[in-house]
Amino acid sequence: MTRIQAAPQSILLEQLKLLFNVLPHGVLANLCCVLLAIFLFNNAVPSPQLYTWAALLLFLTLFRWLHYRRYLHVRDNITQSLNLWSQFRILSFILAGAFGSAGFLLFVEGDLIAQLNLCLLIICMAAFIVTAISPNAELVVTFLLLQTAPLILTLYLNHSDVGAYLIWLMAIMLALMLLSALRINRAIIRSIVLSIEAGEREKQLHNYQERLSHYINETPLAVIEWNCNLEVIQWNPAAVSLFGYNATEATGQFLPALILPKTEQDQLWQAWAQLENDAGGHQFILSSRRQNGTLIHGEWFNTTLHDQSGKMIGVMSLIQDVTQRLENERLKEEFVSIVSHELRTPVTSIKGSLALLASGVMDDDSDSGREMLDIALQNTERLHLLINDILDVDKLESGHMEYRFREADLVQLLMDVIRANSSYAEKFDIKVATSGFPEQLIVYMDPDRMNQVLTNLLSNAIKFSENSGKVTVLLDTETDKVRIGINNFGEVIEDSARERLFSKFFQRDSSTTRSREGSGLGLYICKKILERHGSGLDYVSTREKGTTFFFSLNIQP
């Protein structure tokens, strides 16, 4: 950690604060000293000398008090406070000289009691000065010397035996007070430095906590702190957005029960054990449950929290919603699986047919040659449809799909689609029937795109029907709408597959060995086209009534 060093100016400002804070006590001490001097020396010292000294001291004390009052008004201004420091020093030296002048103004020659009283008075004031102005070593040393030197000099010039003892007494007391003042000064300076450094550390810690709090509150990742009992300690706004619970609802709750499905609640205990043993559990993906019951996938990035003894006491987790990412990865895998199968099979057929024709083996058998050409043509058409589906998806998602809406006969369009798929139905021995068809039904639509929708739905119904089954095209006309349905009997589609059924590249059998060809894009394309027609695609599926895909269109008046 970077060493924090107190700046000299900061130390000086703290010294100044301590010196000025003790001034009220200094003023009181000065008044007491004046009153005590008047009481002790009223009859021993000539009145002009005594009261001149007392008046001088009172005047300086009043000036000191006014100086203190001024400081109270400017103490928050660094520049003005530093300017007062020079004035404070000068006034202190003058005051020290005034105190020291008592050494000859109040000295009574030949009066031992008066001399002892004067020594005690000056020593008492010096003792107070040691504690009052010790924050500054230069100041306290100068003050003590100015205060005691005149008395020592007067005693020396008096040449009395008692004066010699008093000189030694005063000298020893002065030395002791100087040593004490310097020791107190070092302790005060050290205390000031530690206080400033502690303040800086506290400020840095506060800034760090503010930045950390800002990061936690503003990060788009959910931040959850949980303890060894798997209880929520912290829950940031992103966690509220991700899981739906506010901080009050989440704090203190058992985390697995709060956001995990029952099937995955044990995984957090396992994760705790891995984190505690540092066994590679710092990152994992969990399925989570939002407050409204919807499931999401979250990627957890975990940091362990420890106490001073190193014991793990909690975990800070950053959680990113990767539901869409995993879905994109699934779509990518589906795309690779489907496209690789849908490309490999026709390409293999085309290559085999063309290879046989190129070898000349069938030059004498025109029927077999024609059959090989038909196989190559059919598989080329299959590739063409796959490429068209992929291009259509790109156009739909980029908004570049062209639509040409006009009034057209829906009945005629349906009959054309049924005729176009008749040979495909014969391939699976499927009969295509109609129900509820009027002679004519005019709707506002894009006939080409609607042909694409109906062809896809009908071919799917044929492809997924039971062998030798029946597909029925249904029309249900209302006042201003017509409902188009295509029914077949085959495998029942569960309601749980509804959302994924209309997504890209979804197939109930996505293996490369599936029995039915298809890109998995047809229903997605149909849904997008119908959305532009102001409609939607849905289905009902039961074993008794079969599966019916349906949508509605507006009838033109």
In tens, the pLDDT along 468-519 reads: 889 999 999 887 899 999 999 988 888 877 777 877 766 655 443 334 555 6
Rounded distance between C-alpha atoms, residue 470 and residue 159, angstroms:
142
Helix, strand, coil shares of the chain as percentages rounded to 5?
Answer: 60, 15, 25
In tens, the pLDDT along 329-364 reads: 777 777 666 666 666 667 777 777 777 777 776 666
Most confident of 212-226, 231-245, 341-355: 231-245
If you count DSSP H runs as helices and E runs as strands, how many of each does the chain have, helices first? 19, 12
Q: Give yes or no for a contact between 265 and 286, defined as CB atoms under 8 angstroms apart.
A: no
Confidence band (pLDDT; 50, 70, 90) for 557?
low
Q: What is the pLDDT of residue 512?
A: 38
pLDDT at 225 over 50: yes
Q: Which two tokens stand for residue 220?
A: 């788009």
Q: What is the pLDDT of residue 399?
A: 80
Q: Between 161-218 and 112-132, two packed helices, what is the crossing angle to 10 degrees?
A: 10
Rounded distance between C-alpha atoms, residue 464 and residue 487, angstroms:
11
Print the SS3 string covering 422-480: HHHHHHCCCEEEEECCCCCCEEEECHHHHHHHHHHHHHHHHHCECCCCEEEEEEEECCC
Q: Mean pLDDT, the chain, as a whole number?
A: 84
Q: Between 8-21 and 161-218, two packed helices, what is the crossing angle to 10 degrees?
A: 120
Q: Picking from 3-12, 26-35, 353-362, which range would have the lowest pLDDT averaged per residue?
A: 3-12
Q: What is the pLDDT of residue 444?
A: 92
In tens, the pLDDT along 276-286 reads: 777 555 788 88
Q: Which two tokens stand for residue 530?
A: 């119908």
Q: What is the pLDDT of residue 326?
A: 83
Rounded distance between C-alpha atoms, residue 133 and residue 143, angstroms:
9
Q: Torsion angle of alpha carbons 485, 488, 489, 492, nearest 10°?
A: -50
Confidence band (pLDDT; 50, 70, 90) for 3?
very low
Cα radius of gyration (the chain): 50
pLDDT at 453 over 80: yes
Backbone angles phi, psi at 219, to 5 degrees: -65, 140
Sign of CA dihedral 525, 526, 527, 531: positive
Q: Indicate the helix (H) or strand (E) that contains 243.
A: helix 237-243
Q: Give yes or no for a contact between 100 and 94, defined as CB atoms under 8 angstroms apart.
A: no
CA 549 to chain centre: 46
What single DSSP character describes residue 2? P
Q: What is the pLDDT of residue 1?
A: 42
Q: Torsion angle of alpha carbons 330, 333, 338, 343, nearest 10°?
A: 150
Mean pLDDT of 405-433: 91
Contacts of 136 (CB under 8 A, 6+ apart): 15, 19, 185
Does pTM surpass 0.75? no
Reduce the DSSP state of residue 107 to 3 states and report it: coil
pLDDT at 317 over 60: yes
Q: Which two tokens stand for residue 293?
A: 């019951």
Question: Residue 436, Cβ neighbours under 10 Å: how many?
Answer: 14
Q: Torsion angle of alpha carbons 525, 527, 528, 531, nearest 10°?
A: 160
Backbone angles phi, psi at 187, to 5 degrees: -65, -40
Q: What is the pLDDT of residue 279?
A: 53
Most confident of 39-48, 69-78, 235-244, 378-387: 235-244
Reduce the DSSP state of residue 407 to 3 states and report it: strand
